[in-house]
Each structure stands twice: as structure tokens, then as C-alpha cells.
Amino acid sequence: MAQESPKRELRAAWIATVNNIDWPSQPGLSAAEQKEEYVQLLDTLAAAGMNAIVMQIRPTADTFYPSSYEPWSAYLTGKQATPPKPFYNPLAFMIDEAKKRNLEFHAWFNPYRASNSPDFVPSAEHPLVKHPDWFVQYGGKWYYDPGIPEAQEFVLQSIIEVVKHYDLDAVHFDDYFYPYKIAGEEFPDRGSFAQYGKRFGNIGEWRRHNVDYFVEALSKRIKAEKPFVKFGISPFGVWRNDDVDPRGSATKAGQTNYDDLYADVLKWLKEGWIDYVTPQIYWHIGFELAEYKTLVKWWAENSYNRHVYIGQGIYRVGQKGWEDHQEVVNQIQYNRNFPIVKGSMFFSAKTIVQDKENVKSQLEKVYPQPSLPPIMPWINQSTPSAPDHITAKGSPETGIILNWRASLKEDASYFVIYRCENKGALDLNNPAQIIAKVPKSPYVLQNWKDTTIQQRSTYHYGITAVDRLHNESMLSPIITVDTKGKRKQVNGE
């Protein structure tokens, strides 16, 4: 059971705001409408088994929060640099609602992209207007030039501003570093290369250096500011093909991270600059040019002991190669063959919300029980103290209310309630016994109500405390409740 549905597994959905892919459904909604849509979205994702979200908060050098660096996003309000009305802070709201549901909040930034359409007209507050020399146009879109030190520093500071002021669980990048190459068009950075890249052998080496510098600098600044905040990147699914590098994968991808996006992901893993990698393996099992199983195995073997979460292209269900109604199930079951592959991220949330091709039924098969995100021992592996002073009151008709005391010494973030019936024994390794994950209240005394009990049965409850990095305490003393509402407390493990 534990192998089929692990207790520890990241289950996340990307929520894309660019072009209003996932949220909000359209620009210019009222604050109340935006909030309502977001709450419904989180409820749907939580019900589908997710324990994390990857929320795009800075899609095109614009923001979903008040920023000292870049303007409000037009995807939010309909007009760039215009705040929501009535005013509220969407990012603070989004984080708060995620934590109410015990969903990790990974703040998704696009570091260099400044526009997503040829007809983009920046507001007066946009950096493109204030610092036009920092930007280049490619394929009809605007980008920060990654080779200009002032531009690099500006973007780094804009991201650290968010790390400082918001309760993030992680900072997340996707695959957009240098843009995907366009046939017949060269990325126009020869000028900055001539100015800043003289000591490098060629422009490709210099471009990789620019991205390496950015990733390393951001990693160090995140950890200096808040050591518990994770840093993860979701690159294109192929690092290099093995026909150009024996370390590469047995694939025939037309573009690759290293050679075309100038993203040396293996270096970032080897140096420990990132805590997790989520390769976007958006192809089906058996795809000739970039076979799903081949790539999962390759990334598992090249993780340098950092977490690997697989980016699952569920938006493709029903398309060519994805006609098999078990494709998502088969992919996730294959992932679980590799201990270092510790979960999935799904692109994107809309596919789950719309239940495209009955994708929810596939998720139900692989996620029959809840899960806790995996721990990262290189960040912290200390555990909170177990809850104590457990009491229970109530009846099968009204529900059983559990009360317990949280330790004042440790910073628990939430509690896990375990339950078994009759002569069963509580087992912390059995996710089927997890009946609830309860966010910590600001008070010493905590409580939770079980409304799912039946007459003529005996229930055994145990509680653990879990910190924000998901390190879990020992089990509390066990409390037993019989069908008449009588309680007796016995020693737990």
C-alpha cells in the first residue's frame, strides 16, 4: 500500500497567470470575483490530492503584488500598472488561502521575459521604459538581456523583495531562461557580449555563465534571507542528447537546455544551488524522439541527490499519443520505481479543474490517500516535539472533538491526525490512516472535529506535529474513543 501511494510525495499543480491560462479567468475581474475563483480553484486541487501549488506571480516583468520594481500585471487588472479594485494584495491572499488548506506555496517567477506578444505597450512604470538599454526584442517579444549586469541585479532584487516580505515555501522558475531559438533569427545580444564577454571563448559559453551566475546568486540570497525557503527549477525535459554528449539522454530533441537555452541544469544540481528539479517531460510513454521512461530514468540517475519531481503534461490527455486512459496512471507508477523521484507537478491546474478526459479519475487511482511533501534533510531535519495533553469529547451523533496542546518550543506548522478502528494499530507509515491535516492555530490549545465516525466501533487517534519543511514528530499518546463516547488514554509509541 505504502509503495503504491507513498506517504511522502509532492503532488503539485502549476497555476499559470500568463494569458490568463488558469487564473484569473479573465483580466479585470473585481477583487471579490478573483478571490472566489481562486478559492474554488484551491478547493478543487486539494480534493484532487494536491499538497502544493506553483503559482505564477511574475509572468512578464509584471506582478501580482505591490512591487518596488515592476508594475501590476495586466493579466490581473486588465491594464498594466493598475492595482486591483477594491484594493487588496493578491499574493498575501493567495498564500493565506493555500496555507489554510496545507498546500505548499511555490512562487513562480519568469526571470527574463518582459512581454508575451508583439503588440505589447509597456506602462510608464515598466522597466522597459525606464531602462530600455537592458532589453532586447526577439521573436516579437521583449526580454531582459541576461548578459547585462545591471539587469541581472535588478531582477535578483525584485525576486528577493518577495522572499523578504512573504511567507513563501519555495521560489520556482520554469524553462524560460534564454528563449527557445527561432529559425533564422539570432538572439540580439552581440553588443552586450562584446562589452561583457571578452574573457569567454564563445558566446554560448558566456550565455551559460550568465545563467549560472544568476541561479547561484539567487540561491545564495534566498538562503541568506530565509534558509527554509526552497529553490526549484523546472527545465525543459532534455538536458542534452547523447549524440553530442555521452552524459546526455538517449533522445533526439530538436532543442536542449544546455545547447539552446544555455541552462546547465546538471551544474546547478551538482553545485547544490537548487533544492529540486522538475524536468518538463511532457511526452507520452513510447514517444520516439524523447521517450518518457528514458528521461525519467536519466533524470533520476543525474539528480546529485536533490529531489526530482516530474513535470507531467496532463494538458495533453486525449491528444495523439495520450489516447490511453491510463497514461497518467502509468507515468506516475513508473516514477515511483525511483526513490529519488519524489513526486509530480502537473501542467496545468485548468486540466484538473475542467476534468479533461476524466483526468481526475486517473489521479484518484494513484492518489487514494493523502500525502505529506518529502523532507529535504540538507536544509533541516530536526523534528518538533509530539503533541501532548490529548483529550476527546463528543459522540457519534455530534462528532468527536480532539483537543491537544502544541509545544511552545518548536515551530510546528500543522498537525497530522491518524486514526484506526477497533483492534487495529496506529502506523505512521500507513497514509490510509491519515484522517486529517490540521493547520496550527495561533493558540497553544489546538482542536479538530471528526464527523465521520460510526456507531458500534472503537477509534484510536494519534497526532503528530509537522514543521514547515515537513519534518514530523513522534506520535502523541494514543487516545481511544468507543461508540458511547467514553475515552481512555493509553501510551503511544
Residues 468 and 362 in one domain: no
Residues 432 and 343 in one domain: no
> Does residue 275 form part of some domain?
yes
pLDDT in tens, 299-342: 999 999 999 999 999 999 999 999 999 999 999 999 999 999 99
> Does residue 407 form part of some domain?
yes
3-state secondary structure of 448: strand
Q: Residue 426: name the closest of 476, 461, 477 by CA.
A: 461
Give every CB contact of residue 361 below 8 A, 6+ residues apart in sequence: none
Give me the DSSP letters along 257-325. IIIII---HHHHHHHT--SEE--EE-S-TT-SSS-HHHHHHHHHHTSTTSEEEEEE-GGGTTSTT---T
Percent of the chain beyond pLDDT 90?
A: 91
pLDDT in tens, 367-395: 999 999 999 999 998 999 999 999 999 88
Q: Maximum CA pair distance of the chain? A: 81
* Average predicted confidence (pLDDT) for the chain: 95
Give me the helix-helix angle, 327-335 and 292-301, nearest 10°. 20
> Does residue 57 form part of some domain?
yes
Distances (CA, A) of 354 to 34, 245, 253, 366, 473: 18, 41, 31, 19, 38
Q: In what order do the strands lie in the sheet with 445-450?
A: 388-395, 399-405, 445-450
Residues 393 and 354 in one domain: no
Amino acid letter for position 315 = Y
Residues 236 and 317 in one domain: yes
pLDDT value of position 484: 59
Residues 336 and 395 in one domain: no
pLDDT value of position 487: 52
pLDDT in tens, 433-491: 999 999 999 888 999 999 998 888 899 999 999 999 999 999 999 999 986 545 555 44
Q: Which domain holds residue 447?
A: 388-490
| pLDDT above 70: residue 182 | yes
Q: Give the mean model confidence (pLDDT) for residues 232-249.
A: 98
Amino acid letter for position 183 = A
**CATH number, residue 203:** 3.20.20.80
Question: Which cell numbers in the block locate residue 97?
Answer: 488561502
Give every CB contact of residue 66 below 8 A, 6+ residues apart in sequence: 72, 83, 89
Residues 89 and 183 in one domain: yes
Q: Give the mean model confidence (pLDDT) for residues 251-275.
A: 98
> Does residue 382 form part of some domain?
no
| pLDDT above 50: residue 171 | yes
**CATH number, residue 473:** 2.60.40.10
Residues 338 and 421 in one domain: no
| pLDDT above 90: residue 405 | yes
Q: Count structural domains, the chain.
A: 2
Task: State CA 355 to chain mean position distance.
Answer: 20
